[in-house]
Amino acid sequence: MASRYWVAGSGNWSDNTNHWSASSGGAAGASKPTSADAVLFDASSFSGAGQTVTVDETSSCLSMDWTGATNSPTLAYNAALSFYGNVTFITAMNITGSGDFISAGAGNTLTMAGQDLTNRLLVNSGVLTLLDTFLSSGFGDVTMNGGTLDTNGQTVTTRNFVLQGATGKTLTMGASTINCAAWNYSGTNLTLTANTATINVSGTGAGAFGNVNYNGATFNFNGTAHTLSGSPTGIAALNFKPSGAQTITATGTTQTVATASRTGTGLITIVGGTWVKTGGGIIVLNRLSISNSTAMPGSTWYAVGSTNGGGNSGWVWYQQQGIVNKLVGAGVI
């Protein structure tokens, strides 16, 4: 392993003649970093405010550390940048770019320091652990093709959370909160340890669950319309939290949950799906319009003040919440 220090301010990652040195503040001309080289940006890297390091070609490094860099530099990764070790950003910098930021090492950590990655974080292999809050806005996705991602109880905010491909992959979330526009599991060979994780899906984002055990995760669907697919198990709570009206389409799927709830006063339209409750107790939802939907087991799903649109089975219909409250209080249901 060698160390590569950035020198001489703004420039292209590919320009080793002018910007890569074997020592801090040393002479340029060292070879470009490889997957075996530690990359360092420090007090000798930037001489003026707003200078930019541009990743202009597909590149890699072992680790990347911006600790000590001054003058609020910018990392512009306009091509794919793979890292095989630890990455540490700092608060006093900026990140832009349209390339992929690719985790490919055996044991990586990522410290964002409040930065916005702006584009896709791609986990292909190895193990990546998040050490603080992760944000990737704009066209940013978190995409897993393989390996292990440990969100480590951190808050993750991204456009789409994507799990794809047939390569084995492990997602460990702990107590993380995941904020995304869509949850998209389209692959196979996923091991998911959710613990007490909460996934918030906004807008009109899909909930593509796949056929996987979510091991205690909670899903909140907060937008105006969501399409659910797959037949997941192990969901602790499936909650509908629109600010107004909402449509949930789950044709041909089976959602197995411990509980479900809703907030707000807008009408929630549920179309299709088989809704299975596990454990004891009942689920009470109000102000619904339900059609072509099956609720199981019997006498566990209560629709209060709701419209039976036809094609339903297993739902228990009540027009007043107070009746259900009395029955629950009396131990009848």
pLDDT at 331: 46
Distance CA(314)–CA(268), nearest Å, equals 18
- Every domain of the chain and the residues it spans: 1-94, 95-329
Distance CA(291)–CA(282), nearest Å, equals 20
Residue 213: what are its φ and ψ, rounded to 5°?
Answer: -85, 120
- The residue whose two tokens read 């964002």 is 112
Of residues 12, 8, 30, 9, the one with CA closest to residue 21 = 30
pLDDT at 252: 87
End-to-end CA distance of the chain: 67
> What is the amino acid identity at position 212?
V
273 three-class SS: coil
Alpha helices (runs of H) in the chain, residue ranges in sequence order? 16-19, 321-329
Those residues whose C-beta lies under 8 Å from the C-beta of residue 236, and which sit 6 or more positions away, are 196, 214, 216, 217, 218, 257, 258, 259
Distance CA(246)–CA(201), nearest Å, equals 13
Give the global pTM: 0.94
**Residue 163 in tokens:** 């799990």
Q: What are the pLDDT tens digits along the chain (333 aa)?
A: 899 999 999 999 999 999 999 999 999 999 999 999 999 999 999 999 989 999 999 999 999 999 999 999 999 999 999 999 999 999 999 999 889 999 999 899 999 999 999 999 999 999 999 999 999 988 889 999 999 999 999 999 999 999 999 999 999 999 999 999 999 999 899 999 988 999 999 999 999 999 999 999 999 999 999 999 999 999 999 999 999 999 999 988 999 999 999 999 999 999 999 999 999 999 999 999 999 999 999 999 999 999 999 999 999 998 766 666 655 554 444
Residue pair 171/152 in contact (Cβ under 8 Å)? The answer is: no
Residue 301: what are its φ and ψ, rounded to 5°?
Answer: -110, 115
Residue 5: what are its φ and ψ, rounded to 5°?
Answer: -105, 135
DSSP notation for 53-90: EEE-S-EEESEEE-TT--S--EEEE-S-EEESS-EE--
Instruction: Let me know if 332 is exposed, middle or buried by CB neighbors in 10 A (0-12, 13-18, 19+).
Output: exposed
The DSSP letter of residue 171 is E
DSSP notation for 126-151: SEEEE-S-EEEEEEEEEEESSEEEE-
pLDDT at 217: 97
pLDDT at 139: 81
**Residue 279 in tokens:** 């454990």
Those residues whose C-beta lies under 8 Å from the C-beta of residue 304, and which sit 6 or more positions away, are 284, 285, 286, 287, 318, 319, 320, 321, 324
